[in-house]
Amino acid sequence: MKFKDWFISYWRDTANITEQVDVDAAAANIRSNIYFRGPNVWILAFSIVIASVGLNVNSTAVIIGAMLISPVMGPIIGMGLGLGVNDTKLLGDGLRNLLIMVVISLIASSLFFLLSPLNLANPTELEARTSPTIYDVLIALFGGFAGILEQARKEKGTVLSGVAIATALMPPLCTAGFGIAKGNWHFFGGAMYLFTINAIFIMFATYLACKYLHFHQKSFTDEQTARRTRSLITFVVVLVTVPSIWSAFIMIRNNNFTTNAQNFVSENRMYERSYIYDYKIENGRNRNITLYLSGEALSEEEKLQLVELAGSYGIKGNELKIKENAYASEDSESKKLVEGIYERFDRQLQSKEDEILALQATLDSLNGHRIPYEQITAETIAQYPAVQSLHLSRGATVSADSTRTDRVLAIAYCTSALPVADRARLENWLRVRLGSPSLTLMTANAPAPSQRATQSADNQ
């Protein structure tokens, strides 16, 4: 056997699913899950509250929990089965129950967001459900394939949980409720479009899988009805897909422009004698990047060179705006930006100058309290020959009531006793000389020659 034939045979055996599915059991299970009554009513209510809270507090984990318990997928798969087996009654029942669930979800989530006191400045989880693209189509389509295969296979697993998380039916409905509560029709429209994409392509995947797995079908009353049904399905699929493709194109284009603009700024912060201190990127119909420059004004030739440089990053000339600082531009917005930066720098500089002055004052204070030991000792010995050395130290006396008194202690080491008058005159002179009214003078016998080195060190 050739390798090609062997590989084809092996692949057919490996990928074959017809022997591992039970279409009758799957059809019965799908039909039983489309109806909105009993536990499904309460499960829907719980999932609405959980999803709304998760969106309100930007909690991905809570939103995933709401996806897992939501029963909204049941009617959608039921509609796909109805289309696949030509059961118009099942299709109608699924559509009716789905509409009831949608209306209840919108009302409940709207009331929640009306009553909720929390309004996030950056509701990223809500915003993520307002701009569907072709990627959401692919997620819903292949999620639908995985969902119907999980329903049909004999050995059940956990695939439906993953499908529920991937296709995300409940969060878009709650986001649409937020749009109604806040009067934000951009949120409402984008979220409902995402929900519609998910619902239709899950249903379409179910329809295709039912045809492939040969679910037992009912016959149309005539060929014209069959042809009209197929045309309607094709029209709806194309109608939903085309806007999502355009949305994906816009998303990719905006992302590329933003990336190019950021690279352009980061690699050219310094241009000539100017500095790009800020920039603003705007995406949409008229996408552009505005550069805010500080420094010397650019000449017309330099501006043209900057436009050419931006062109090398994929930024067209009409997409680049240059606004120079207050010295070169009369634009009020540019002035405010530059003045704000200068004011911030001035405040920081003034703060540093205040710190320097405070440190200088502390240093001056310390220097002012420093005692000129050598000079005072020499002056004292010159006036009083009996004084051989002088010990001076600055300290404080603290009383029992925590009162502090700065004090200088002077010890005169004498070779002979000082007369009382000389002692009093020396004490007064030291008080004036050191500027310390609380100075205390003590006298002591001069130390022996071996102790003079130690006495000299004490004076230091």
pLDDT tens digits for 60-80? 888 888 888 888 888 888 888
pLDDT of residue 326: 40
Domain extent listing, the chain: 16-218, 373-459
User: Which is nearest to 150 in space by CA: 276, 5, 25, 294?
Assistant: 25
pLDDT of residue 180: 92
Instruction: Decide if 339 contacts 326 (C-beta within 8 A).
Output: yes
Positions of the chain with pLDDT lower than 70, given as ranges: 1, 15, 121, 156-161, 219-223, 226, 236-237, 240, 244, 284, 325-342, 345-346, 364-370, 448-460
pLDDT of residue 448: 65
pLDDT of residue 369: 57
Report d(CA 204, CA 239) in Å as an integer.
Answer: 13
pLDDT of residue 92: 85
Note the pLDDT tens digit of each residue in 141-160: 888 888 888 888 877 666 66
Return phi, psi of residue 159, to 5°.
-65, -40
pLDDT of residue 116: 84
Report d(CA 203, CA 137) in Å as an integer.
Answer: 12
pLDDT of residue 342: 63
Beta strands 274-282 and 270-271, pairing class: antiparallel
pLDDT of residue 334: 53
Q: Is the pTM of this model over 0.75?
A: no
Q: If DSSP codes are grouped into helix, strand and coil, which group holds residue 401? A: coil
Report d(CA 52, CA 60) in Å as an integer.
Answer: 11
Report d(CA 437, CA 65) in Å as an integer.
Answer: 80
Can you spell out the DSSP letters for 31-81?
HHTS---THHHHHHHHHHHHHHHHHHTT-HHHHHHHHHH--THHHHHHHHH
Q: Give the full edge-to-edge strand order of the sheet including 404-414.
A: 387-398, 404-414, 440-445
pLDDT of residue 449: 60
Half-sphere exposure of 56 (CA within 13 A, CB side): 22
Domain 373-459 has CATH 3.30.1180: no
Report d(CA 97, CA 138) in Å as an integer.
Answer: 25
